Chain A
Amino acid sequence: MTRFIWPFIIFLVLATFLFVGLGLNPREVPSPLVGKPAPAFSLPQLHTPTRQFSPQDMKGKVWLLNAWASWCVACEVEHPVLMELARSKIVPIYGLDYKDKREAALAVLERRGDPYVLTVSDFSGRTGIDYGVYGVPETYVIDKQGIIRFKQIGPVTDENLREKILPLIAELEKK
């Protein structure tokens, strides 16, 4: 009897590992930037390129930085969620237009609606690299001290907004 027990236990352990592995999302690479200060940048605004925006301007506020692009399909999915969030005025959303063309980006905002307080143009993608963006959309929750507290990889959904992002914002606002 004992000669069957060990292979069976090994089989169970392997099966558990494989089963857990099935549930993981390989596209979600944890960001080392969580808990670190949001990388500095100074980029022209999409609507008025003569004016710049920098994360330093947001000291003392909890805010979202949402990397998006007009060519990004998944951004269309999260767009209504962001519109809803913007209407609720819970948290200001700033856009980072990643590797895009100005006309295309403006046209998309015109057509779908603009959830952003303002959007900055990162057409070279350099700021994206500093933020570790590897696939839009990506959303950063940044606290009053300018520290990145959370990174949402992929579209913001009602579910992850309710379960993670909104509770976190409420907690950060209290500090």
Chain B
Amino acid sequence: MRNFLVQFAMLSSIFITGLSYAGEARDMAKDPVLEKRMVGLAEELRCLVCQNESLASSHAELAEDLRREVRELMQKGMTDQEIKDFLVARYGDFVLYEPPLKSFTLLLWLGPFAFLIGGLILLIMKLRERQKNMVEVRLTPEAQKRAEAMLNEEEDKQA
């Protein structure tokens, strides 16, 4: 009987710790799936304090707060895009590492391609110009014969 009581106490203690653990599991920092999603998103976001660090890697206090915020918004069921919009509404496009395509950022996005195309056009123009300027040099018959003789000599040696 006493044995049974001890067993019961042990079992219930396991049950109780199990319960308290279930309570702790609500802390989403310990939810690996959500944490992974949060870090994935935070890598695309810029920390406003350090500016050259992502929200995922920054140790600034604001970055910690914003990671907490992102985590909680994910818990509320917001999509990544909704969370990005939430942050852009507060901090502007600056928080995004990849700026959106707008009239204001057109030069930023298309600039490199414009330079590439400009460079190609310039290259083609230069090459054409060069081709025009090149004069084909015709050999006189004597020179032709001498050249052939020299080439044949070369071939004989090799053979």
Residues of A that sit less than 8 Å from B by CB: 26-27, 29-33, 99, 124-126, 129-132, 134-135
Residues of B that sit less than 8 Å from A by CB: 48-49, 51, 61-62, 65-66, 69, 88-92, 94
Q: Which residue on chain A has the smallest CB distance to residue B86?
A: A129
Q: Which of B62, B65, B90, B92 contacts A131 (CB 8 A)?
A: B90
Chain A nearest CB: distance from B56 CB in Å?
A: 17
Main secondary structure of the interface of A (DSSP, over half): loop
Main secondary structure of the interface of B (DSSP, over half): helix
Q: Which of B48, B61, B69, B90 contacts A33 (CB 8 A)?
A: B90
Q: Which residue on chain B has the smallest CB distance to residue A26?
A: B51
A-B contact count (CB 8 A): 39
Provide the residues of chain B in CB contact with A29, threshold 8 Å: 48, 91-92, 94
Provide the residues of chain B in CB contact with A130, threshold 8 Å: 90
A33 to B51, CA, bound (A): 20
Are B49 and A134 in contact (CB-based, < 8 A)? yes
Q: A129-B65, A129-B66, A129-B69 in contact; A32/B92 too (CB < 8 A)?
A: yes
A130 to B51, CA, bound (A): 19
